[in-house]
Structure 1
Amino acid sequence: MLAIQLTQYGEPEQSLKVVDLPEPQAPATGQALVQVEYAPLDHHDLLLARGVYPVRPELPSVIGNEGAGTVLAVGPDVTQVRPGDTVLLPFGTFSWSEQVLTEAAKLTAVDRSIGLEQAAMLSVNPTTAGLLVESRDLPAGSWVVQNAANSGVGRSVIAFARERGLRTINIVRRENLVTELQDLGADLVFVDHPDVATRVRAAVGGEPVLLGLDGVSGKATSLLLDVLTEGALLVLYGYMSGEPFAPDRNVLRAKNITTTEFWMYEDKYLPRHPALGAESARLVAEGRLTLPPAPVYRAADFPEALARLQQDGKVLLDFNPRRG
């Protein structure tokens, strides 16, 4: 069967290879055999390939952090899923392969109405957003501020916040995104500018802003610190700027702001993944969450997919040979 292996840590163009591997054995007790339908190729996959991601499998190894598939067979005593179910692949099951053998109890079955391409993108960005929104227990009506609001995580934060009765302040870099995010349910949208904090305060009055979500880091962090109020929590989850996380310590002390760095695969978060994956699927099915579409490439055309990713965001790899 076709798979994509990481052969050595280094530059993805040289280290990621399309290979032919034996098909998995029949599922044993507690296992399920899954036909991978679509699996994203994203920038965090490239970090893993370069050896700078917290996950470092022994090589050579298939990689791929998320995906969706169809259950082909289950082992004895498996009741959580059935053949034919559409499922999200769990953390620890590398997805870049036509078929995978995985622990059935960790699979999340989703409504097939949402589409396999959308399902393949549920396990990372929406789950991250759900965990970020849950970073602090806030009463309904509270404000959450985020940068990178147009990203896959940012759009999902808007949906999860609304689902929990929270309001969002969203910072973007282009004017044309304001109406688009408002249509998705964003409460306030501002274009990045030095006076954003002043405009936010005018919009929210004296209400506190106690949770900030930073997907950019670098200079963008200071803008969030300007918006956040006394006793807030600032969560760093991404480095889109490529710059280090270096918040102004004087501002942190003056406002008594706490900072923390987030990685969704910490042990404390893993038990929440299945429920948040299922909730993400429900929100998509109900039209409350729309994931940005991604171009699709046959897995066999991985070099072309990789070149596209490096030009313009996430792409999807199609692993089902029947669609060839």
Structure 2
Amino acid sequence: MRAVIATEPGGPEVLTVTEIADPEIGPGEVLLDVAAAGLNRADLLQRQGFYPPPPGASDVIGMECSGTVAAVGPDVTGWSVGDQACALLAGGGYAERVAVPAGQLMPVPDGVDLVTAAAIPEVAATVWSNVFMVAGLQPQETLLVHGGAGGIGSFAIQLAHQLGSRVVTTAGSADKLAACTALGADVAINYRDQDFVEVVAEQTDGGVDVILDNMGAKYLDRNIDALRTQGRLVIIGMQGGTKAELDINKLLRKRGAVIATNLRGRPVEEKSAICASVVQHVWPLVAEGLVQPIVGRSFPLAEAGAAHAYMESGDHSGKILLTV
């Protein structure tokens, strides 16, 4: 099969399409003919040599995809050859075929085409597991999501809005701020010329209840400033660095929580439970058109390097897809 590999750690130019052996499936796994794969920030880190796949996972980049079931392994029930599905992966998405644990395979939501479905698994699982399962965002509470115009941010805005929460978000241009507002953000902050802590203080009664943060170290202290009493900060990325000083006294006074999580390295059983919860709670909203995957641009598989360069430019909104 064709697959995209990084010939060495480096920039987008190291990505190349090559022929490799088809994946073999074992008990509890399904073989998927890939229609499209979604890009994620972690893909860029893996290409650069900073984020290797978990033990036993494919070395091929790609943490989500959609496609058609080509074969079903022993002990798998509920899936048949020819079924359309989307999948949460530990790796292997940038290829014509991928082996998937059956629990990480999800049906394509009603009303979503097969290619677009590749834009959903990672963002839906990330937002649902972190904002709702871990941080416990409740109706009438306020969520601050950084990078609201991106794939995760745009999904988080919609989902929190539809489930009755107030949403504050940050973005870096007027167009992106407008897009966030259209998706349901109540307050949209231009992080280039506004201090989000000051705006949060002006626009909320005591701060926000939950923050979904992809910046890490750079925003740690200011995120805690933006929390209200008993607020929860969930860190899911390190775009702003990995080390920062934590004022424990400030956090203690707010009786707040700082939680750092990732999705990729979790055991299959945990990821399967998250996927099942996503199908139960999120898929009905997608099927009704209340929460929609936002695809900014698609590239053919052979242009994976160009897709990575486009993501690194910061010009995109929504998800970027590779089509097979």
TM bin (shorter chain): 0.7 to 0.9
Deviation sequence 1:52-91 (CA, Å, 0-9, x none):
2263557993231111111133346643122332212233
Q: Secondary structure at the match of 1:45?
A: helix
What is the TM-score normalised by the length of structure 2? Answer: 0.81
What does residue 120 of structure 1 align with?
118
Task: State the match for 1:99 in structure 2.
Answer: 97
State the distance in 2 between where 1:309 and 1:255 align.
36
Amino acid at match of 1:316: L
**Which residue in the other structure is 2:210 paired with?**
211
- 1:56 and 1:142 map into 2 onto residues whose CA distance is 35
Kept after mapping to 2: 8 A contact 1:66/1:91: yes
Q: Is the 8 A contact 1:3 1:97 kept in 2?
A: yes
User: Contact 1:141 / 1:167 at 8 angstroms: preserved in 2?
Assistant: yes
Find 1:70's aligned residue among 65, 68, 87: 68
With 59-68 and 116-125 compared, the bigger mean Cα shift is at 59-68
Match of 1:274 in 2: 275
Q: 1:302 to 1:155 in 2, by over 3 A?
A: closer
Amino acid in structure 2 at the alignment position of 1:273: I
Distance 1:59 1:157 in 2: 28
Residues 266-309 of structure 1 deviation map (CA, whole Å, 9 limit, x = unaligned): 34852433135435444333222233324322223334444434
Q: Secondary structure at the match of 1:84?
A: coil
* TM-superposed deviation, 1:36: 0.3
Matches within 5 A, 1:152-191: 152-191=151-190
Counterparts in 2 of 1:130-141, with a 5 A limit? 130-134=128-132, 135-141=134-140
The one-letter amino acid of 1:180's match is A
Over 3 Å counting, the alpha-carbon distance change for 1:77 and 1:182 in structure 2 is same
Aligned to 1:308: 310
Q: Residue 259 of structure 1 corresponds to which residue in structure 2?
A: 258
Consecutive unaligned residues of structure 1, counting only runs of 5 or more, are 320-324
Is structure 2 residue 18 aligned with structure 1 residue 35? no
Distance 1:309 1:124 in 2: 16
Q: Which consecutive aligned stretches of 4+ in structure 1 deviate over 6 angstroms post-superposition?
A: none
**In structure 2, what is the equivalent of residue 4 of structure 1?**
4
> Residues 6-42 of structure 1: CA distance to partner in whole angstroms, max 9, x if unpaired?
455x2255754421134456x6664433210001233
Verify the 8 A CA contact 2:295 2:321 in the aligned structure 1.
Answer: no
SS in 2 for 1:101: strand
Rg larger in 1 or in 2?
1
Which shifted more, 233-242 or 56-65?
56-65
Structure 1 residue 317 and structure 2 residue 322: aligned? yes
1:239-254 to 2 correspondences below 5 Å: 239-242=238-241, 244-254=243-253
1:157 Cα deviation (Å)? 1.5
Asked whether the 8 Å contact 2:143–2:166 carries over to 1, the reply is yes
SS of the equivalent of 1:140 reads: coil
**1:191/1:295 CA distance change after superposition, 3 Å:** closer
Q: CA deviation at 1:141?
A: 1.2
AA at the equivalent of 1:184: L
C-alpha change, 1:151 and 1:246, in structure 2 (3 Å) is: farther
Describe the superposition over 1:240-287 as per-residue Cα deviations: whole angstroms up to 9, x where unpaired: 335744444453244333212121233485243313543544433322
| CA separation of 1:202 and 1:35: change in aligned 2, threshold 3 A | same
TM-score scaled by length of structure 1: 0.81
Runs of 5+ unmatched residues, structure 2: none
Taking only aligned residues, the RMSD between alpha carbons, in angstroms, comes to 3.2
Distance 2:171 2:135 in 1: 23
Residue identity over aligned pairs, in percent, reads 27
Decide whether aligned partners of structure 1 residues 203 and 69 sit closer, same or farther in structure 2, where only a CA change above 3 A counts.
same
Amino acid across the alignment from 2:163: R
The structural deviation recorded for 1:222 is 3.7
- The 1:253/1:22 distance shift into structure 2, 3 A limit, reads closer
Q: Distance in 1 between matches of 2:54 and 2:45?
A: 10
Q: Does structure 2 retain, via aligned residues, the 8 Å contact 1:143–1:168?
A: yes
